[in-house]
Chains A and B, each alone.
Chain A
Amino acid sequence: MNYAMALEYQNCINCKACEVACKEENGVQLGADKQRIWIGVVEGTIFGKPFANLYPSQCNHCIDAPCVSVCPTNASHFAQGGIVKVDAHKCILCKGCMEACPYDARFVDDTMVAVDKCTFCDHRSLVEGGTTACQATCPTKVRTFGDLDDENSDIVKLLKTKRFFFQKEYTGTLPKLFYILPDDEAYAKQSVSHNTIIHTWEDIKPMYDEARTRRSKEWRR
């Protein structure tokens, strides 16, 4: 099992259903800076005409997660299927993981007195036919959660037919949020930068498989 999420970010309408469903499902502490999931908004004007792109985001559950490497107490760890989690009772709030995370996916939950983050809803998504709260609730079905090891999973089936990219791939953490690039070339160009590396399943699979084999020794069962 190697859990990941594909995002058809082109579908996103910034309605924030995912954010609310996440907070309700997981009892996330209220507060504007307390988010396990969020929508990145890039907007501006080109020759006076407004444009906007939305990048729904959350923890990337990186295969080489720097937040796990820096944790002095092993509070940050890989759980089953490579899901990055925090043991609240081991967390000493040094916030090293928050510094290490390239995606700013972590925050302090004052009620637990620990760092909190996305868990891919592992309490509900790992059962047969289960999925995360954000995927289930999304009106336009941006997300596909699934197992990269399973050739027949929804996510692998999708990734095999699409091109995709990662956010901040250059940090080398092997993130597992796959942003599905639009098939339409004009729209594809509009939402990525010149430096964005475009991948296909064939080209990415060996690298991810290798990394998974290397790091999965640390995964808890």
Chain B
Amino acid sequence: MKVEISRRRFLQGSVALSIASGTALSSSTILASSKEKPQVALMKKVPTICEMCVNKCAAIAHVHNGVVTKLDPNPYFPKSRNMLCARGAAGIHALYDPDRLKYPLIRTGERGDGKYRRATWEEANEYIKDKLVKILEEEKDNRSCIGYCAGEGLAEHTFKTFMSDKFGSSNFLNHSTICLQTAVSGYTLTIGGYGQADLENAKYVIMAGANRAEAILTPDTMDMFKRTRGRGMKLVVVDPRFTNTAMHADTYVPIRPGTDLAFVLALTYVAIIDQVYNRSYVAKNFVDFDKYKKHIIESEYTPEWAEKITGVPAATICKIAHDFMAAAPQAVYYQGRRTTWSKNDFQLRRAMALFTALGGGIDVKGGIVFGKKLPLGEHTTTAPMYANAKPRIDKNLAAVVGATGTWVGWRNMVEEGKSPYPIRGMFVYKQNPMLSVPNSAKTRTMFEKMDLVVVIDTMPSDTAMLADVILPECTYLEREDPVQSFAGIEPSIAVREKVIEPMYESKPVNEIMRGLAQKLSKPLWEITKKYDEDVQEELEDSDEAEFYEENGFDLAEPFMHDQEETNKHMFVEKYGEEAWGVLREKGVFYPNMLTYFKKVNNNTYEYYPKDKKFYSVLKLEEEYDPVAFLHDICVNPVDVADLKRSFNTPNKKVECFLGSMAAKGVDPMPVWRDEEYVNVPVGKFKFITGRHAQFTQNATQNNIMLLELMRENYLWINDKEAEALNIGFGDTVEVTSSIGQVRIKAYPTPKIVPQSVFYIHGFGAKSEGLTFAHRNGASDNEIIEDTIEPVHGCANMHETLVSIRRV
């Protein structure tokens, strides 16, 4: 008699196995053990860290019979304050997405047609090795001929360690230049750090463009919306759109896109002319303030001047400047975590930082604070030196091109054939440049030109469809990731533990890198020996095997340890075995956690006692006990702000004038330049993009639970303009820019300023592998022009003009 195993029995068997023995599934082991009774309880709770966006909230996964049934917030983590947003709660559907990449795939058709064959890991690695050997042979061991990019995440560094430290390519790209690099850099060069706005205590907050209700950031979102609407925090929202954040504002200020700099400069003008800024603070803590003051006054950045540019009434600007300074130092011009908008973005962020500093709201409770970071041990590796690896190709495209490059600039060089040496291939980890980098058509051409494209991902994204080899990573619920320390007012360490074993043939990136490195080490070493004169010279008087070993040419070495083992090593070194036990059990650790942590009620938890929080970190020159001083409520906060501080900038002060930037052709002080502003001609619209709270960029686009909340994106258009164009709700419109055209449904609304149109980023996937996301709405990067700003080469997301036509 033939014995058949039903699907139900198959699942029961697999559950028993994955929990009881923890071994990988294979049909033979299931057959062997399906007769045995499961020996352990089948319910468990595992602490993990969410990866549905970049915030990394702590979660508890409920596992029932080997199936993840629920993700609940983990109350122990101070950064996420016992919450999981819609995306976090829907993480289960990332894990059980039917479209997930299940096994390695090798392309059989043309790039983009989606034809792949199933391969083993061995075959896939072999394929990559053959191509790489051929390419590196032709490029004479110039490792930089292979570019690589990675999306943000706890395991990003693991991938980077392989590509940068071990493989040796200098051409790295990540989210920075299509994200917040100008903001981070503008604040860092001005006040010494990007910092964190203390929204639990700030009394006056200007939020310009930032949208904390729809682009959730922890702990800012949770802290601020309990205090808006007459409950302690005055909120001014400056935005071309009436967002869910604007809904909470005491004052909503609609503004023309691209004119924020004029707005801030006018605020600064008012503060200076009316002498409402904190003069003793400025005297003690600013350098070159006289130059800045002179510049602001002589340039005549008056509110009346700004009104013409921004559309914000001069009286409103005056009132905001006065109210802000009256509340200072508990007043913040919120840094935001925004993409670069326009060419002046770096100057905008500098002006914002300087305006906050004028009130003294830096490194003080209720202002921008820098917090503390708990140390972790180190995990080191030896990076081999490759004499023929060339520097990155895009370093001259902007004044300061960092180690993460300029995505748009780099892509354009490769696509237009302007690279000084050929870029022959690309490794893509957890990023989807086809949807995330402006001008998708160019990104596509770039990939089509390459000889080897490898994509490591969990989903068959639009970018994966252009790959030669697709390697399936497991989702965040199926792996342990590097332990991480989270800086802040209430610092802590958290770890993502593996909740269930990886499904299908997917693997964590650590193991993917291990397998690939083991395959590549020796063949690539042969190429290095052949072309690398430094190595040849060294080898003349040393033993090859020893040299290979000592100089890190064994590429697999950093990936040989199990991630949990590495984490334990990094953690126990600093905090000991007992603390390790706490971290594994709770998922979170900070010194004294078990005594500090208190549940006040189901909604409120206390992580640190009030006097143990890290509001101020910088060394103050005057002698006093900073802890006692800063937490004594009898002390006037303005006096605290006044104290002379040591900023983490070159002059240890707030920097008004950046001489080093002037040498690179960048304005040393924020300047408004009419010629840089993109005017909107009659009949055209400026296209702006943004986020919302139900999807993370394009990473969650196929999540069926989130698609319940929003099926597709809509074009926001001012209702009066829509009426004139005879466009009604739900009508399909054609949006055309100089580089592309999309069709999308319209949403006429009074919630957007005239001459601007908007739709949410992250929709419009074309990959047929994405059953649910396929062709929902439109992708913004099909129409956003590929220009970059001059300081860091960041993509200008809000400078594209479009025309709209009803179809």
Residue ranges of A at the interface with B (Cβ–Cβ < 8 Å):
8, 10-17, 19-21, 23-25, 30-32, 43, 45, 48-54, 129, 131, 133, 135-141, 143-145, 154, 182-184, 186-187
25 A–B contacts from the bound complex (CB under 8 Å): A10-B229, A10-B231, A12-B225, A13-B212, A13-B213, A13-B693, A15-B86, A15-B693, A15-B694, A17-B84, A20-B705, A23-B708, A24-B90, A24-B92, A30-B708, A133-B70, A135-B602, A135-B603, A137-B88, A140-B226, A141-B226, A143-B603, A144-B602, A144-B603, A184-B230
Contacts of A136 in B (CB 8 A): 72-73, 82, 602
Q: How far is the CA of A23 from the CA of B87 in the complex (A)?
A: 12
Q: How far is the CA of A219 from the CA of B768 in the complex (A)?
A: 53
Q: Quick one: closest A residue to B213, CB to CB?
A: A13
Min CB–CB distance B333 → chain A (angstroms): 21
Contacts of B282 in A (CB 8 A): none
Q: Quick one: closest B residue to A125, CB to CB?
A: B602
Contacts of A48 in B (CB 8 A): 750
Contacts of B222 in A (CB 8 A): 139-141
Whether the pair A31, B708 counts as a contact (CB closer than 8 A) is yes
Min CB–CB distance A185 → chain B (angstroms): 8
Whether the pair B230, A137 counts as a contact (CB closer than 8 A) is no
* Interface check B666, CB cutoff 8 A: no
Q: Scan B230-260; emit 1 where CB is below 8 A from any A CB, else 0.
A: 1100000000001011111000100000000
Additional A-B contacts beyond A13-B244, A20-B709, A131-B602 (4; CB < 8 A) = A15-B213, A20-B90, A24-B705, A183-B231
* Interface check B706, CB cutoff 8 A: yes
Contacts of B704 in A (CB 8 A): 30
Query: How many B residues face the partner with a CB closer than 8 A?
Result: 48
Min CB–CB distance A69 → chain B (angstroms): 32
Min CB–CB distance A120 → chain B (angstroms): 13
Whether the pair A23, B84 counts as a contact (CB closer than 8 A) is no
Contacts of B693 in A (CB 8 A): 13-17
Contacts of B86 in A (CB 8 A): 15-17, 19-20
Interface centre among A19, A182, A183, A186 (most CB of B within 10 A): A19
Main SS at interface, chain B: loop
Q: How far is the CA of A54 from the CA of B70 in the complex (A)?
A: 27
Find B603's partner among A20, A50, A154 (CB 8 Å cutoff).
A154
* Interface check B63, CB cutoff 8 A: no
* Interface check B601, CB cutoff 8 A: yes
Contacts of A19 in B (CB 8 A): 86, 709
Min CB–CB distance A129 → chain B (angstroms): 7
Whether the pair B750, A183 counts as a contact (CB closer than 8 A) is no
Q: Scan B8-51; emit 1 where CB is below 8 A from any A CB, else 0.
A: 00000000000000000000000000000000000000000000
Interface centre among A12, A30, A133, A140 (most CB of B within 10 A): A140
Contacts of A154 in B (CB 8 A): 601-603
Residue ranges of B at the interface with A (Cβ–Cβ < 8 Å):
70-73, 81-90, 92, 212-214, 216, 221-222, 225-226, 228-231, 242, 244-248, 252, 599, 601-604, 693-694, 704-706, 708-709, 750-751
Q: How far is the CA of A1 from the CA of B203 in the complex (A)?
A: 40
Q: Quick one: closest A residue to B749, CB to CB?
A: A50
Whether the pair B751, A187 counts as a contact (CB closer than 8 A) is no
Contacts of B214 in A (CB 8 A): 13, 15
Q: Quick one: closest B residue to A31, CB to CB?
A: B708
Which 10 A-B residue pairs are closest in the complex by CB-CB distance?
A184-B230, A13-B213, A15-B693, A141-B603, A20-B89, A50-B242, A139-B83, A20-B86, A21-B89, A140-B225
Contacts of B230 in A (CB 8 A): 182-184, 186-187
Contacts of B84 in A (CB 8 A): 17, 21, 137
Contacts of A187 in B (CB 8 A): 229-230
Min CB–CB distance B307 → chain A (angstroms): 18
Interface centre among A19, A20, A133, A140 (most CB of B within 10 A): A20
Q: How far is the CA of A45 from the CA of B705 in the complex (A)?
A: 32
Q: How far is the CA of A83 from the CA of B306 in the complex (A)?
A: 58
Contacts of B72 in A (CB 8 A): 133, 136-137
Min CB–CB distance A32 → chain B (angstroms): 7
Whether the pair A184, B229 counts as a contact (CB closer than 8 A) is yes
Q: Quick one: closest A residue to B704, CB to CB?
A: A30
Q: Quick one: closest A residue to B228, CB to CB?
A: A10
Contacts of A31 in B (CB 8 A): 708
Q: How far is the CA of A218 from the CA of B229 in the complex (A)?
A: 42
Whether the pair B602, A139 counts as a contact (CB closer than 8 A) is no
Interface centre among B85, B228, B706, B709 (most CB of A within 10 A): B85
Q: How far is the CA of A140 from the CA of B225 in the complex (A)?
A: 6
Min CB–CB distance B370 → chain A (angstroms): 24
Whether the pair B226, A137 counts as a contact (CB closer than 8 A) is no
Contacts of B228 in A (CB 8 A): 10
Contacts of B706 in A (CB 8 A): 20
Contacts of A30 in B (CB 8 A): 704-705, 708
Whether the pair B231, A17 counts as a contact (CB closer than 8 A) is no
